[in-house]
Structure 1
């Protein structure tokens, strides 16, 4: 077997790399620690979120857990007050899932949690030349008569 065909055979047997493989490799390295922590915080936020008052839920998220302190971020000062009122229940829930939680700290973010809604796109009028060019491009995408299996 020639060296060229040998490398082809090896590449045939080598499995295709996927994004999941890349993530697993990254997580197995020490550099993956921040990613694991972010995933853990995200999961913890998903478990605590249902216990927030419905009006507050879309305005608050868990940002950190450090030395028994749950750190939440809200998008306006009014939500800080509402979250402080919900703190005892959040601490109970956190303890029930195994966290050593003794305090809730609430910080106000200067940016909203959800991306701002974009204005709807408006149609831009096309010149006749642009319209013809667009139609020609669309026509190239349609199968020619007889190519689609029909007579």
Structure 2
């Protein structure tokens, strides 16, 4: 007599979670922009190490289309330095199979993605309302833990 083992599923189960969701999204034609973003990110990882070490954290590949490599930098000084590195960068891009013929560099006021965020000292703050100030003080007071030596036990 044969006994069926119900503890093992007869059909293999697909993994669930973020990886399965990404696979499902990429299987759909609507995943094309995500595939392109992943490809550009991989291309950026290949090209950025070829930049001068001082420049690399300030530059990010933004696009590649019709032979144009488009980089974004976080200040005009890096734009000038990247333009000086253009011939070597174009040669490197061609060596990995890209038909790159031109380098375009754009500046932005915010750091490129992946770069360090600005220090909090540069962030402007608005004055706090009286109610918000009181709520913050109450929250801070509730976090205060009494000192164990002040337990009130008189020995």
TM-score relative to the length of structure 2: 0.68
SS at 1:27 equivalent: helix
* Greater percentage in helix: 1
RMSD, matched Cα = 2.8
Aligned to 2:68: 69
Taking the aligned partners of 2:143 and 2:102, their CA distance within structure 1 comes to: 66
Tell me: CA distance 1:129–1:105, structure 2 relative to 1, closer, same or farther (3 Å).
Answer: closer
C-alpha distance in structure 2 between counterparts of 1:78 and 1:128, whole Å: 49
* C-alpha distance in structure 2 between counterparts of 1:17 and 1:118, whole Å: 38
Q: Partners in 1 of 2:56 and 2:85 — Cα distance?
A: 11
Q: CA deviation at 1:30?
A: 1.0
Partner of 1:52: 51
Instruction: Map 1:1-151 to 2 at 5 A.
Output: 14-15=13-14, 17-113=16-112, 114=115, 115-118=117-120, 127=141, 131=145
Number of residue equivalences: 120
Deviation at 1:117, TM superposition (A): 3.2
Kindly state the Cα deviation for residue 129 of structure 1 after the two structures are TM-superposed.
Answer: 8.5
**What is the CA–CA distance in structure 2 between the aligned matches of 1:97 and 1:28, rounded to whole Å?**
27
TM-score (norm 1): 0.70
Report Cα offsets for 1:70-118 as digits up to 9, x if no partner.
0000000111110000000010010000000000000001212232234
